[in-house]
Structure 1
């Protein structure tokens, strides 16, 4: 497998125009979004025939639906008569009726009614009356769409991602919570806050006493990237070597603090079920003098037992060795990132907000394994302003950086971002791939 180490192209610079230029945004609309596979929704959002979700990206809008046979289909959300959009948001229907002149389409996108059709005296019979389909496919419970009819298959586009992330069984997770934010930053600025680990020590200093080693290594995998902690000098629950604190004598206290604080500050990646099991049972089954690794493995086992007791199951092929190999975080090009764990995950999706390069639409999905039939109803929170809104301490810290970065890049003294050659390979690989689509050129 060809994995590019961070030490290649050590002085990679990202021009600020990639984030600030309206011309670059227009080029993205023309050359990026119509050409790539991108996550439109989760299968969970459209479980029954007639269910649909509208996915908006730049100037395009796509309806993703279950047809009457239960198959997932997708088509452009525009009436071929006069161009009105047919649907918004999500819902359930057996047809899409244009609110302008009443043209109607079934859930396969086939036209089933033209009002006063005889006015055309048969001329419509040779015209395209149906909705224009887009390519659609699924992986891991995520529904991907691609507007290019000649695109490569999704499995080919994803490359090594199924190999690394398949064992987490995303398809067996459901929404724990779902938040959409309008943020004062370019969609790439927002996404990049979550595809590198270099920022953790400065942005999230409260995590360092129990985070474990926060020094990351990162890698490129074709279009996609990841980072992890392959040479970690301390495991989760222990202090980062960066702050030079002594390890607690009782390693169980550090592990409990880790899961308690992530549940309090984030409510994602690690589950409330996992936290409860550790809080109630860790000190019962693990001796006081256990090593940090023994405590971590016991915490994982308690999470497995709790999940299986609830009837949620546990990923059979996912081992701690695989987690170490897969790393902590993945960038799924172009606009998604994820941090997975045994029975939960955090997933981000970033999109431009209209024609404003200084604004984006940012989706945050906390996913968790539930017993079949016990999934909570989906509650989509939408916040068009962050005034009075909190996404939890950790995410609030990340979000606080975004607007300041967007403003700071406009300084006449700032020309380009300098990426860390070891810890920010995902940022470098992101823009190298992005420029290949947007500008038609490569910096290799």
Structure 2
């Protein structure tokens, strides 16, 4: 991302800049989207830490389709259609731990690898092979499941290309963060939203709305210096930390010390050390004199790297800018990832299970690197909010939570035919162009 293009140099002619509103308000479009996209694309079904031990399992749903994700005795994570091969009875609900799966209807039993182990009446096994198929072919129906960066990815399309091909070079860029060592802490919430899932992707796919919705953040970044890069169907942006420097070291120091740690918890342990280090560079009159070539941001980044390394987090694969500059990823189709060294906000946006295109489910999780010995104690389990109840987010997310349903109300208007994008929204334009290809 350090060598990616400033958005002022991005070629916008490659994308559709007028986005039809029917993809937010049309039953017909939602039905096509279900079949062309959701039944064929790789999507996150949870974190591997949700099923840490052999026998742990959880159910994942997309619309009315239900799947079992289970960690086997060999520690591999597998996925199966949540239906008994006998008469299609649903096997599981929620999550749990089992040594095997037994259908409650007729007591057919399956192993953690999906293989059919036994029938309630062994004498019937011969009739199964006579009328249907050999017992070895009657295991639970598998679906493709792979783990990457600590996430469990699943694809309902059994003929889909592997996850590595779908992610492409994204995999190599994100590998350096070692997110498989991170855990959800603080916030890990699933709840309903009164808007289409793509409204969420659009909102978190641009920084343009900061000056309108998050005015408190305006001084902490210079969105005019945003950089953009495309990676197949996926894309990312990086906004340099802090406002553009005018060469005033004191002003740069004040900007850094003014970072709200509730929004940037990565900096909580480092800011006091930064303040102390800055004081060490003052002369007898209190004037700040930094060594030649050392800016305040450089000093801050050095201290962050030193702090994380001392705690056992390997940041050797990350650049200096990744110590402070968040990267903002849209991983197609439904993942927003705001990531910096040791710290990430993930928002996963899914269509509402009942198919209502005016609603969705969003899953917000804060991920942090934590020393291995502390992970089990600090891991935050997923909290599912009951329908009609709301989780109080940090003020920045709360502002977005309030804003997005307001946009959906506007998008419902039948005379509103399309959205007009600007040069401040390359990620949004790229996302919708990728969606066009899948829908075609």
The alignment's TM-score, normalised by the length of structure 1, stands at 0.85
Query: Does the 8 Å CA contact 2:79/2:144 hold for their aligned counterparts?
Result: yes
Residue 426 of structure 1: aligned partner: 427
Aligned to 2:200: 190
Matching of residue 136 in structure 1 with residue 135 in structure 2: no
Q: Secondary structure at the match of 1:374?
A: helix
Deviations 1:368-421 (A, max 9, x none): 11111211133222224575531110101111111111110112441111122x
| Residue among 76, 83, 86 paired with 1:71 | 76
Q: Among residues 277, 280, 292, which one is paired with 2:270 in the alignment?
A: 277
Determine the structure 1 residue equivalent to 2:334: 335
- C-alpha contact (below 8 Å) 1:227/1:423 kept by paired residues: no
Query: Cα–Cα, structure 1 residues 214 and 174, in superposed 2: closer, same or farther, change >3 Å?
Result: farther
1:84 aligns with 2:61: no
Preserved CA contact (<8 Å) 2:149 2:175? yes
Distance 1:305 1:320 in 2: 11
Give the conservation status (yes or no) of the 8 Å contact 1:182–1:385. Answer: yes
Separation in 1 of the partners of 2:90 and 2:359? 23
SS of structure 2 residue aligned to 1:368: strand
Which of residues 385, 407, 414 is equivalent to 1:383?
385
- Tell me the TM-score normalized by structure 2: 0.86
How far is 1:216 from its partner? 2.9
Q: CA deviation at 1:322?
A: 6.2
Task: State yes or no: 1:405 paired with 2:399.
Answer: no
CA deviations on 1:105-156 (whole Å, 9 max, x unpaired) are 2111112233346457513564352111011222222221122222212111
Root-mean-square deviation (Å) = 2.9
Q: Does residue 304 of structure 1 match 2:302?
A: no
Report the equivalent of 1:154. Answer: 163
Which range is displaced more, 285-294 or 84-93? 285-294
Give CA deviations for 1:318-358 in whole Å, capped at 9, x if unaligned: 0125679x972111111111011111111111101121111
Sort the Cα spacing of 1:364 and 1:136 in 2 relative to 1 into closer, same or farther, 3 A. same
| Residue 209 (str. 1) matches residue 219 (str. 2) | yes
Report the equivalent of 1:110: 115
- 3-state DSSP class of the match of 1:330? strand
> Is contact 1:248-1:254 (8 Å) kept?
no
Matched, 1:345 2:354: no
Largest Rg, 1 or 2: 2
Give the equivalent residue in structure 2 for 1:13: 18
User: What is the Cα deviation at residue 425 of structure 1?
Assistant: 2.1
Whole-Å separation in 2 of the counterparts to 1:215 and 1:318:
21
Deviation of residue 42 (structure 1)? 1.8
1:29 and 1:192 map into 2 onto residues whose CA distance is 19
| Count of residues in correspondence between the two structures | 418
